[in-house]
Structure 1
Amino acid sequence: MTKGYLAAALGLGAAILCVAPALAQQTEFRISAGDLKQALDQFARQSGREIIYKVDDIGGVRSPGVRALVAPEDALDQILSGTGFSSRFDSSGAIAIVKTGGGDDGAARTDGGGSEIVVTASRREQLIRLVPASVSAETGRTLARRGATQLEDIVRNTPGLSNPGPGSGNKTNLTIRGVATGTDPGLKQTTVSLMFDDIPLDPGSAGLGATNLRLVDVERVEVLRGPQGTLFGSGSLSGTLRIISNKPDLTGPGASAELTGAATRGGEGSIWGNAMVNQALIPDRLAIRAVGYGFQEGGWIDNSRTGETDVNRNETLGARLAVAARLGERLSVDIMGAYQMSKDFAAGESLYAPVVGANDPYGITTSRQSLESRLESALVNLGLRYDFDALELISSSTYIRRKASLNDDAGYYTEVVGLQLGIPGLTGSTPAITTNNSDIFTQELRLVSTAAGPLQWTLGGFYLSAKADGGQWVTAPVLAPILGSGNLAALSTEGEQEELSAFGELSYTIGDRLDLTAGLRISDTTLRFDTLSSGLLFTGSPNPAVQVATVIRQSDTAYNPRFAIAFRPSEDLTLYVSAARGYRVGGPNLTAGLGGPNIPRAYSSDNLWNYELGAKGRAFDGTLRYNAAAYFIDWSNMQTSLSLNNVGHVGNAGSAHIYGAELEASIQITAQFEVGGSVSVNKAETASTVPNLTRTTGIVGITPGLRLPGSPEFQTSGFAQFNFDVAGNRAYLRASGQYVGDQYTDYDEKGTRFGDYTVADLRVGIALDRVEVIGFVNNLFDGNGKRSAMNRSTVGPIIAQPQIAYRIRPRTIGATVRVNY
């Protein structure tokens, strides 16, 4: 019996066993985002409930609205989400709207009054506790409150999410639930799809780094654990991270600004800031929102070979402009343009072993030249939404121009060539430049049911067309007088990726307690790469006229179903089981000629099935929130990072099994005091034999039972926040910490060990009318934990790279001033 039939049989059996009587009458609510007073008035009319509030209290507050078939209590939860208000029954039986206890505007996750985050993980708005999947979400206000500005900050607070990538910034390598086979994704598609609103930022052909989109003026961030191939397509192999931006506010003007300065122990200072302006040009009809930001983060690693200090600094600049128009009562038009340029002046690597006698024994690199990477992205999106009463038509059209470059020094090749020519000790600058530029167009159309009733559905189509060009050039000027040319390697490539998908998902509710969900996505993907290579390392001749041409063609059709059953024994508890399939496209090994004939020209797609059992809900009048899940993952034809003759490449390494569990919870102990945390445990091992693969350590072959590289077996995080008043002003103190278990760069706990570290942060803030002042200490105890690492490597007798580690930033002390209008 196939996995798909097995999942369907399990779903049908559970459905027969779990049918139960009705719980509460659901109502279709259609309340648009906007002024909270208007939203509450509409809720009163649509629900027939009496609402009591103070107009002066809620004036100027914005509500996310609600558009869903839910119970009235859940609809009110959504309307109040993130507003700083909650609901309770007064003595007359009416619903009173009151300020959240303690005045903590940022605690939308748990405020003691029932307010919860609304997510769109299923492509429709739902309370997070009703989604039959493992989802974490944080509002933009909560992210700002804890100082989250980039992807690494999301990793530190989300169970099952990790980053074994070599460095942060442009070298981030997001993984979920241990679905990893190395520290550096290279040019292959990552296992976690990164999305901005409905836009996939890094499709398969857009390699050479991850878009480290800064978290500025965002509504929320959602992390969907488990494969999301049915609704979100390729690259969602182990999950999806969605950044949802704040949209223009049609109700009135608004503005905010923020400035942060920080000092890092043993390194340069840092400064960053952002500003936002919103203006309703025609109230309730036309609005514009502009955002700009800049980050200059100082380095702390010194290069002992070149004499440079603090080489691993980062510069990021970005801007976003959005226009929202409501043309009548049915048609909405949203236009958004965004740009970001991020430059890592070095990856941040340091020697793995401490250097005796050095001022900073953990902050030294010996690179011949500090690696530099630059990633520049510009995008334009047109969103259309039309209301047909019983359904909505949603269109999203996007163009992305993505330019990536990586500059390094390959001086070890010059030394090896010198030995072969009988010139020992031959050295010289050997620039190695790698580029990848992409033009990406995506179009998605969705029809979403909105009518009241037990059957809800989503149908859609997706098209992607990506054209890429780039290559790698390695030049040794010192060899030009000897060989007539310093051309060691010159590789140029042109590629295309085209994907056409159709998807749909149906959900049927029985007795208001049982939801049965089934979905399917069919995707057809075609890849084409044409390469032209020359140079001594490729052809044996430095003459640029001696060339080798290669044509790579690859096509694949993927079927990705999803099944889920959710049972709600009460309004405060959701139990679910699910089975889902995800996939990732294949691709070329562009530098195969450097390592000899045993490196394949291309690698195939891989896929996995995720079987999951979960529970989520709230207790004690909503003061306790929790989300728990246990899962089994069956990964087939997994793509893995390999190395042959010091040439990194990708191959397919058979199958793997992953078992794990995760839990996140928070509790509002009092109106002023909240604690929370998360924990994930994971066991990821190979399940088949592949005898001829040369791993990154030089060990040949894979057998069953080997632990996967870059896969932590244990992670945990926690926080405690105390809210209080100072002279009538709201203030808070927040402490948080994270532990990451040990990991390895190769299978079977071979290679270089990293992880096994703890980091703690402390923040204190006070809100003075429209101004908020925050002080913080990151890495409070000044740990030197290794976030990632790379093995020692050689080319012949020459050391190409010593054993290195990528460490967490040393203790950093800073302050933020935030102003809201």
Structure 2
Amino acid sequence: MGALPVTAAPSLHFDLPGGSLAQALAALSRQGSIDVGGSDPAISATGVRPLHGTMSAARALDRLLAGTPFMAEPVGNGGYRLVRRPAQPARAMAPRPVRIAAQTPAPPDEIIVLGSKRQQPLFTSPGSTEVIAVSDGGMGPTSALGERWLLQRTPVLQSTEVGEGRNKLFIRGVADSSFTGPTQATAGIYFGDVRVGYDGPDPNLNLYDVDRVEILEGPQGTLYGAGSIGGVIRIEPRAPQLEGPHASLRTGVSETGHGSPSYDSAGMVDLSLVPDRLGVRVVGYRSRDGGYIDAPNRKTSDINPLTQTGFRGAVRARPFDGITIDASYLRQTSEQPDLQYADGGLALGHLATLAQPFSDRYKLARGVAEKVWGSGLTFRISGGVADHHLAQRFEATRPGVANPSAYDDTTDIRLDTVEARLSRSMADGRGWVIGASGVWSTTGSERTLGPLSAPRDLIGVTNRTREKAGFGEITLPLKGKFLLSAGLRFTVARMDGEPSRRPVNSDFLRGSTARRLDPDVGFSVPVAHDLIWFGQYQQGFRTGGLAVAQGAGRVATYQSDTIRVVHSGVRYRHGRRIRASIDLSYARWDDIQADLIGRNGLPLTANVGNGIILAVEANAEYGITSELSFSGAVLFNHSRLTDPAPSYVSSGDRPLPASPKWTATGALAWHHPFSDSLALRAEARLRYTGRSRLGVGPVLDIPYGNYTEVGTIAALEFGRYEASLGIQNLLNVRANRFAIGNPFAIARQDETTPLRPRTVRLGFAVHY
């Protein structure tokens, strides 16, 4: 069977994403109002290039499947079923060179990486990247998807467990400390092309109506600049479609053992204001995770519910062919009236006499304009303005004192970014990118400590960073299919800091300028059929600044740190049923910055010394049958503080904090179609998190971890509707996933952060 018959069908405008064929087919079904089905598990693993243009739905499907192992058979009522193309008989012919044009479709089964700032096939990439599809929901199709959902899918990503909206994320064991402060995060988080934050915690953006998340293991200093020493987490939202309308709704209710009920709901509406030229997409969501921690001293229970509310609005305009303009705004708030830790020997309760609330308000406005020429040359300019406000309270009452005291901390972060780049991509991995960027970041904090009736001001700090950079990277073929990649970034960064009031000493940053070069070089070469050997050298850095020091009335400077990483590995695929990879990396980290907690519970920041990280990661996917598949991954991490600073000699030759030696994930998925409109999907998933420690220094040398989480989901899909039943923490594990809650009780070393008890969720979804 050849191409689909193209009849006098109405022409529609299609805007289909690249990447997974399954995602592209879902978008094609919505935009073309046709049903396309198929049960082959390789559909999700097959890669396609983006498709844009005005044509019939049949023609769009034909073009989308070109270059893949699938073809479409009409099944009546305007529907299609995907089947394998028949094997072509081999023909002997003399080989001849073939010139691959920029618009050649991606090879079958290929996944395209967008985070490389040009379209790059994952299989031949010199870097290590995880691509996680989000649009299909995966395990637990809840509208409250966030960092916990991502952690269940890859061991490469780790997190502290202070609480949603307060956590720090780490990639491949590049972890500096368990606390947030003025230092830049080790993992850069991006919403599309725009940076979410420069420092501070991960705001835990909701992933509803998001196509996928890419985790680019680092450092990514050449392409992304300062603050990406561990790597980059890139969230790819869905853009407005230029035809419509489309809508979706997802909602659910949950029940937690030893806790209060939860709910989540989210909806999306997509409208075409001017067909083929102007569209708008609006997303709204709200969720409440019921509390499960008690406060017996206050005679209250379930004190730690988390409420998250968010809105996203996006506009896409295509005024002329080849030109696309996107503008969007998002706002998300998180509120928690008390903390999620336990102490005093209680399994699910703590003894604080004061409520310890937390609030997080995050806003981001961004704009992107892109021009694509017929040759594949692409110019893209993007910019964003982010505003992040955090407020938290901890009880600081001293033992034996009747009058309760509190520590209040308010932080405001403002981040402005802009980037312009010119690129060209080839289907075989060749290509280049050149660009320039600017970052303007201001972070200020205000703190008080003392009785609620008369708290006293503590010194806070304000840091201002101005960063300008030019960068470029190119990938060229050498001797056939050997690909060599090289890049360079030149950065000029200006750092200024000042205390919020006059300190006891005068040691603060009056202004300094740093200039540096950050190169990368990599390769990939086929060594056998469907076996690629790859490797890369990268480096990155974080800027220095001003921070509070040990004690309540001092400030001090902390210096820039630098990390250098070399890694190498192999990727293998056998037909369309088996994918596997293994990667070995070695990192040298100099002048490590760390946000710490002193014995008195107050925060401080310091350079703690030099360290090394040796990591081995392995991934495998296996299609056992056409309906049953398995995936698994493991990360081994061996880290050491090799040259501690004088104040941290006792931590020498000890592992770095918040970096378990072993982390592993696994999933077993089953999908059984009863008909073209009725199917049953089930999945079981687990994550093992090994033992780690809280921080550097004797005060923070507290172990935690060593537990396994298991979750299951079953979903019945009938037409545009879906009903699901899911269970989190199926085994009801009561482990310590983090070893602190209130830093002012750190000296007792008796705090734990228990897993949420077994939670059962009933959900419903509909797509229009």
So what's the TM-score if we normalise by structure 2?
A: 0.84
- Deviation sequence 1:664-723 (CA, Å, 0-9, x none): 111111111011111111110122242224xxxxxx5443x2222221000111111111
Q: Equivalents in 2 of 1:119, 1:354: separation in Å?
A: 48
Alignment of 1:424-503 (within 5 A): 425-450=400-425, 456-476=431-451, 486-491=454-459, 493-503=461-471
Alignment of 1:250-289 (within 5 A): 250-289=242-281
Query: How has the CA–CA distance of structure 1 residues 334 and 75 changed in structure 2, closer, same or farther, with 3 Å as cutoff?
Result: farther
Cα distance, 1:802 vs structure 2: 5.3
Find the counterpart in structure 1 of residue 185 from structure 2.
190
Establish whether residue 568 from structure 1 lines up as the match of residue 564 from structure 2: no
Cα distance, 1:318 vs structure 2: 0.6
Q: Equivalents in 1 of 2:216, 2:645: separation in Å?
A: 31
Cα distance, 1:592 vs structure 2: 5.0
Establish whether residue 127 from structure 1 lines up as the match of residue 82 from structure 2: no
Q: Equivalents in 1 of 2:627, 2:452: separation in Å?
A: 66
Aligned alpha-carbon RMSD (Å): 3.4
Find the counterpart in structure 2 of residue 729 from structure 1.
678
Q: Equivalents in 2 of 1:304, 1:347: separation in Å?
A: 14
- Deviation sequence 1:147-176 (CA, Å, 0-9, x none): 36011221121122111x242311211112
Q: Equivalents in 2 of 1:746, 1:404: separation in Å?
A: 23
- Deviation sequence 1:215-236 (CA, Å, 0-9, x none): 1100101111221111112221
Q: Is the 8 A contact 1:471 1:490 kept in 2?
A: yes
Find the counterpart in structure 1 of residue 233 from structure 2.
241
Percent identity between matched residues is 23
Find the counterpart in structure 2 of residue 371 from structure 1.
356
Alignment counterpart, residue 739 of structure 1, candidates 663, 666, 688: 688
Cα distance, 1:397 vs structure 2: 1.4
Q: Is the 8 A contact 1:192 1:238 kept in 2?
A: yes
Find the counterpart in structure 1 of residue 767 from structure 2.
820
Cα distance, 1:633 vs structure 2: 0.8
Establish whether residue 136 from structure 1 lines up as the match of residue 130 from structure 2: yes
Q: Is the 8 A contact 1:752 1:791 kept in 2?
A: no
Establish whether residue 622 from structure 1 lines up as the match of residue 576 from structure 2: yes
Q: Is the 8 A contact 2:51 2:64 kept in 1?
A: no
Establish whether residue 167 from structure 1 lines up as the match of residue 122 from structure 2: no
Q: Is the 8 A contact 1:676 1:719 kept in 2?
A: yes
Alignment of 1:741-760 (within 5 A): 741-747=690-696, 751-760=701-710
- Deviation sequence 1:559-597 (CA, Å, 0-9, x none): 21111001124673322011100212222213655166x
Establish whether residue 66 from structure 1 lines up as the match of residue 65 from structure 2: no
Q: Is the 8 A contact 1:507 1:518 kept in 2?
A: yes
Q: Equivalents in 1 of 2:604, 2:382: separation in Å?
A: 35
Query: How has the CA–CA distance of structure 1 residues 555 and 303 changed in structure 2, closer, same or farther, with 3 Å as cutoff?
Result: farther
Q: Equivalents in 1 of 2:392, 2:163: separation in Å?
A: 14
Alignment counterpart, residue 34 of structure 1, candidates 9, 12, 15: 15
Alignment counterpart, residue 712 of structure 2, candidates 759, 762, 779: 762
Q: Is the 8 A contact 1:256 1:820 kept in 2?
A: yes
Find the counterpart in structure 2 of residue 527 from structure 1.
495
Matched length: 700
- Deviation sequence 1:745-777 (CA, Å, 0-9, x none): 245997221110011111101101110011011
Find the counterpart in structure 1 of residue 732 from structure 2.
782
Q: Equivalents in 1 of 2:429, 2:443: separation in Å?
A: 45
Q: Equivalents in 2 of 1:661, 1:452: separation in Å?
A: 29
Query: How has the CA–CA distance of structure 1 residues 176 and 549 changed in structure 2, closer, same or farther, with 3 Å as cutoff?
Result: closer
Q: Equivalents in 1 of 2:707, 2:429: separation in Å?
A: 49
Query: How has the CA–CA distance of structure 1 residues 284 and 587 changed in structure 2, closer, same or farther, with 3 Å as cutoff?
Result: same
Find the counterpart in structure 2 of residue 805 from structure 1.
752
- The amino acid that maps onto 1:583 is F
Q: Equivalents in 1 of 2:35, 2:349: separation in Å?
A: 55
Q: Equivalents in 2 of 1:235, 1:745: separation in Å?
A: 22
Query: How has the CA–CA distance of structure 1 residues 295 and 453 changed in structure 2, closer, same or farther, with 3 Å as cutoff?
Result: closer
Partner SS for 1:601: strand
Q: Is the 8 A contact 1:375 1:403 kept in 2?
A: yes
Structure 1: state its 5+ residue gaps.
1-31, 44-53, 95-112, 356-361, 416-424, 479-485, 540-546, 694-699
Q: Equivalents in 2 of 1:132, 1:453: separation in Å?
A: 13
Q: Equivalents in 2 of 1:430, 1:322: separation in Å?
A: 45
Find the counterpart in structure 1 of residue 293 from structure 2.
301
- The amino acid that maps onto 2:565 is N
Establish whether residue 220 from structure 1 lines up as the match of residue 175 from structure 2: no
Find the counterpart in structure 2 of residue 400 from structure 1.
386
Find the counterpart in structure 1 of residue 660 from structure 2.
712
Q: Is the 8 A contact 2:542 2:561 kept in 1?
A: yes
- The amino acid that maps onto 1:135 is T
Cα distance, 1:623 vs structure 2: 0.7
Q: Is the 8 A contact 1:300 1:363 kept in 2?
A: yes
Cα distance, 1:627 vs structure 2: 2.6
Q: Equivalents in 1 of 2:749, 2:427: separation in Å?
A: 63
Alignment counterpart, residue 585 of structure 1, candidates 526, 543, 547: 543
Find the counterpart in structure 2 of residue 556 from structure 1.
514
So what's the TM-score if we normalise by structure 1?
A: 0.79
- Deviation sequence 1:605-652 (CA, Å, 0-9, x none): 111111111222311x21111232111111111113444452331211
Q: Equivalents in 2 of 1:637, 1:155: separation in Å?
A: 28
Q: Is the 8 A contact 1:166 1:184 kept in 2?
A: no
Query: How has the CA–CA distance of structure 1 residues 79 and 752 changed in structure 2, closer, same or farther, with 3 Å as cutoff?
Result: farther
Query: How has the CA–CA distance of structure 1 residues 801 and 315 changed in structure 2, closer, same or farther, with 3 Å as cutoff?
Result: farther
- Deviation sequence 1:267-290 (CA, Å, 0-9, x none): 111101100111222232221111
Q: Is the 8 A contact 1:595 1:644 kept in 2?
A: no
- Deviation sequence 1:352-373 (CA, Å, 0-9, x none): x743xxxxxx101122323222
Partner SS for 2:646: strand
Cα distance, 1:90 vs structure 2: 2.5
- Deviation sequence 1:67-112 (CA, Å, 0-9, x none): 89xxx999745999xx998673326779xxxxxxxxxxxxxxxxxx
Name whichever of 252-261 and 585-594 sits farther off: 585-594
Find the counterpart in structure 2 of residue 26 from structure 1.
none
Q: Equivalents in 1 of 2:320, 2:493: separation in Å?
A: 39
Q: Is the 8 A contact 2:70 2:85 kept in 1?
A: no
Structure 2: state its 5+ residue gaps.
1-12, 25-31, 38-42, 53-62, 72-78, 91-106
Cα distance, 1:56 vs structure 2: 5.7
- Deviation sequence 1:445-488 (CA, Å, 0-9, x none): 0111257999621001111112333311224256xxxxxxx343
- The amino acid that maps onto 2:207 is L
Q: Equivalents in 1 of 2:303, 2:512: separation in Å?
A: 40
Alignment of 1:111-122 (within 5 A): 115-122=109-116
- The amino acid that maps onto 2:300 is E
Query: How has the CA–CA distance of structure 1 residues 35 and 338 changed in structure 2, closer, same or farther, with 3 Å as cutoff?
Result: closer
Q: Is the 8 A contact 2:189 2:197 kept in 1?
A: yes
Cα distance, 1:444 vs structure 2: 0.5
Q: Equivalents in 1 of 2:238, 2:17: separation in Å?
A: 16
Query: How has the CA–CA distance of structure 1 residues 333 and 36 changed in structure 2, closer, same or farther, with 3 Å as cutoff?
Result: closer
Establish whether residue 513 from structure 1 lines up as the match of residue 508 from structure 2: no
Partner SS for 1:788: coil
Partner SS for 1:154: helix
Find the counterpart in structure 2 of residue 6 from structure 1.
none
Q: Equivalents in 1 of 2:69, 2:593: separation in Å?
A: 41
Alignment counterpart, residue 326 of structure 1, candidates 305, 311, 318: 318
Query: How has the CA–CA distance of structure 1 residues 671 and 133 changed in structure 2, closer, same or farther, with 3 Å as cutoff?
Result: same
Cα distance, 1:197 vs structure 2: 0.7
Q: Is the 8 A contact 1:35 1:251 kept in 2?
A: no
Q: Is the 8 A contact 1:33 1:64 kept in 2?
A: no
More helix by share: 1
Alignment of 1:603-682 (within 5 A): 603-619=558-574, 621-646=575-600, 647-682=602-637
